[in-house]
Amino acid sequence: MTNPYFKLLILMGSLSILNATQAQTNSTSASSTIATVNGKPIDVKNFEQIIKNNVANGLEDNEQLRSAVKDELITRQVMLQEVSKLALDKTPDAIYGMNFVKDNFLIDFLIKNFESKHPVTEEMIKSEYSRQLSLIGEPSEAMQYFVRVIVTQSDADARWVIADLKKGSDFVQLAKTKSLDASKANGGELGWVLPAQVMPALGTVMVNLKEGTFSALPIQTPNGWYVIKVDEKRPFKIPTLEESKTTLIQTLQQVQRQNYIRDLLKAAKITK
């Protein structure tokens, strides 16, 4: 029977490849181990960290969890020893894979280190909230639109789509088969958006379409030629600062990350 905690432990990254490999090579005293596999110790610190991570994700710290985690660590140690026995960790593919995992971890660690030193402040949240409000316009007149799009490579392709729609073809099905945009998987659905949330060329057309209608001409953008449809309209209810806080923090963190990476690139000497 599959261990119910197996997938969770792997997804959480509680015991990375690097930690697992290090656990094999580091000598650990008996008092700091929870078990040994062929004489190799399993570090109690790794064990307790995994318990802590699982509890933080909603599981109860009980004997069932501890037993499952211990069994999982033993299984992993057995498998890692077999890797070493077969020298699989010395193969080019394994070395590449481990370096890739290590690089991703370190990049993520760099970003987290930056964010810990540059936390989003209440003043920044309020400022961003005000900025977004200014983009909406007059609150009493703000409208939200449920939009679908089909994106093509050329004006001619977009005109063919429009002609097919005029013949009665279904927009959703055409989006799934003809669109180049990632939204094609959902029938071209962008969901509920405000004019300020889309490219100006799209927003201008969007606000002038009636419910259930699509653009009569292709819309040229830097990302391709668009055919846009408005399924529904509704007055936009502006969320309060408190209701928006989580989204605002995520937005500000994303901007900070982008600026940080941009500054690193600007300071680096890069040749292509």
Map residue 218 onto helix, strand or coil: coil
Contacts of 106 (CB under 8 A, 6+ apart): none
**Whether residues 167 and 78 fall in one domain:** no
**Residue 121 falls inside a structural domain:** no
Map residue 165 onto helix, strand or coil: helix
**Whether residues 96 and 146 fall in one domain:** no
For residue 230, the model assigns a pLDDT of: 97
CA dihedral for 252, 253, 256, 262, sign (positive or negative)? negative
Cβ pair 210, 146 in contact under 8 A: no
Which H or E run includes 113? helix 92-117
**Whether residues 148 and 220 fall in one domain:** yes
Query: Which amino acid, one-letter code, is at 168?
Result: G
**Whether residues 10 and 111 fall in one domain:** yes
**Whether residues 103 and 153 fall in one domain:** no
> Which CATH number characterizes residue 173's domain?
3.10.50.40
Phi, psi (deg, nearest 5) at residue 146: -90, 110
**Residue 133 falls inside a structural domain:** no
Cβ pair 10, 69 in contact under 8 A: no
**Whether residues 111 and 147 fall in one domain:** no
What are the pLDDT tens digits along the chain (272 aa)? 444 444 444 334 434 434 444 444 444 444 578 899 999 999 899 899 999 999 988 899 999 999 999 999 999 999 999 999 999 999 999 999 999 999 999 999 999 999 999 999 999 999 999 988 887 766 667 889 999 999 999 999 999 999 999 999 999 999 999 999 989 999 999 999 988 889 999 999 999 999 999 999 999 998 899 999 999 999 988 889 999 999 899 999 999 999 999 999 999 999 99
Map residue 199 onto helix, strand or coil: coil
Q: Where does a domain end: 61, 81, 116?
A: 116
**Residue 126 falls inside a structural domain:** no
Domain with 99, as residue range(s), is 6-116
**Whether residues 225 and 147 fall in one domain:** yes
**Residue 248 falls inside a structural domain:** no
Total structural domains within the chain:
2
